[in-house]
Amino acid sequence: MTISHGDLLYEGKAKRIFACERDGQVLVEFKNDATAFNAQKKAQLDEKGRLNCRISSCLFELLEREGIPTHYLGMAGDTWMVVQHVEVIPIEVVLRNIATGSLCRETPLPQGTTLDPALLDLYYKDDALGDPLLTDSRLALLDLISGEMRQGIEALARRVNAVLSPFFRAQALQLVDFKLELGLNAAGELLVADEISPDTCRLWDLACTDSEARILDKDRFRKDLGGVIEAYGEVCKRVQGACPTPRNCS
Ligand code: ADP
Ligand code: MG
């Protein structure tokens, strides 16, 4: 750690958020805790925090270069990131390019079906409720966001997909699906927040046809496939080729 931090503001499943002496900024510490199935399954995985912090930093810098606003300001040590403090919108945006996971449990769509255009779903971010899928009418009923904000969120998420999908493809990785969290900074700007890592993206190795061996994301942990950190390390190796020296903000 090379930057001094203030009070712990929030401890989540994968990260801790600390106050920072700089106005409008907070520090994010990436932990080695792995959780799945709404934290019913837990483990400590050495190096996960470092790998996810590094991968996220590279991907946020990529998005920034493509003109997509994010909370990212820079790294501050191996497992620390400086970000703009945002009011996180309690909605998880999930974009799917290929059908798998809960979509195939909840619908008759066969595993591996290509979704073009990508399927975009909104989920209510609430662990106690199990992050339920939001229908249009439930979204209106809960009055969580305006119609205009919803359009902004969906357009931003599709732009992220339009940047990340070809980027990963160039690293021989298929971006199967991913989850985004978005927030509003003090100026009211909508930013991509949280993290973008193998915890939040499904990534398949395009060089591999075996349906288990190709998995390079948190599904290795969910499905007890082993080699979780090796997979995250492989993603990091490929991603950091495009961003060898992430910005240091300490
Ligand atoms: P969770 O257990 O909710 O998944 P995480 O450990 O992933 O939590 O992350 C910690 C919390 O930090 C999450 O609630 C996330 O929404 C929040 N967060 C992410 N980015 C920011 C930010 N820029 N400002 C404030 N909070 C943030
Ligand atoms: Mg999280």
Tens digit of each residue's pLDDT, the chain (250 residues): 556 889 999 999 999 999 999 999 999 999 999 999 989 999 999 999 999 999 999 999 999 999 999 999 999 999 999 999 999 999 999 999 999 999 999 999 999 999 999 999 999 999 999 999 999 999 999 999 999 999 999 999 999 999 999 999 999 999 999 999 999 999 999 999 999 999 999 999 999 999 999 999 999 999 999 999 999 999 999 999 888 899 999 8
User: What pLDDT does 122 receive?
Assistant: 98
CA of 157 to the centre of ligand 2 (A): 17
CA-nearest residue, atom 10 of ligand 1:
12
Provide the terminal-to-terminal Cα distance of the chain, rounded to the nearest Å: 9
User: What pLDDT does 244 receive?
Assistant: 86
CA of 195 to the centre of ligand 2 (A): 8
- Which atom of ligand 1 lies nearest, measured to the CA of 84? 23
**How far is residue 56's CA from residue 198's CA, in Å, rounded to a whole number?**
9
Using DSSP's 3-state secondary structure scheme, residue 43 falls into strand
Cβ 99 vs Cβ 113: under 8 Å = yes
Q: Give the list of residues 6+ apart from residue 9 with CB closer than 8 angstroms, or none.
A: 17, 18, 19, 26
Pairing of strands 114-124, 87-98: antiparallel
How far from chain centre, in Å, is Cα 36? 14
User: Which residues form the pocket of ligand 1, taking CB atoms under 6 Å from any ligand atom?
Assistant: 10, 12-15, 17, 26, 71, 83-86, 88, 181, 183, 193-194
Is the CA virtual torsion 24, 143, 60, 53 positive or negative? positive
User: What pLDDT does 243 receive?
Assistant: 87
Our mutation pick for probing the ligand 1 site, out of 88, 129, 178, 201, counting the most ligand atoms within 8 A of Cβ, is: 88
CA-nearest residue, atom 11 of ligand 1:
12
**How far is residue 72's CA from residue 80's CA, in Å, rounded to a whole number?**
11
**The whole model's pTM is what?**
0.97
User: What pLDDT does 36 receive?
Assistant: 95
* Residue labelled with tokens 């090379």: 2
Cβ 62 vs Cβ 242: under 8 Å = yes
User: What pLDDT does 2 receive?
Assistant: 54
Cβ 136 vs Cβ 99: under 8 Å = no
CA of 194 to the centre of ligand 2 (A): 7
CA of 83 to the centre of ligand 1 (A): 11
- Which atom of ligand 1 lies nearest, measured to the CA of 199? 7
User: What pLDDT does 136 receive?
Assistant: 95
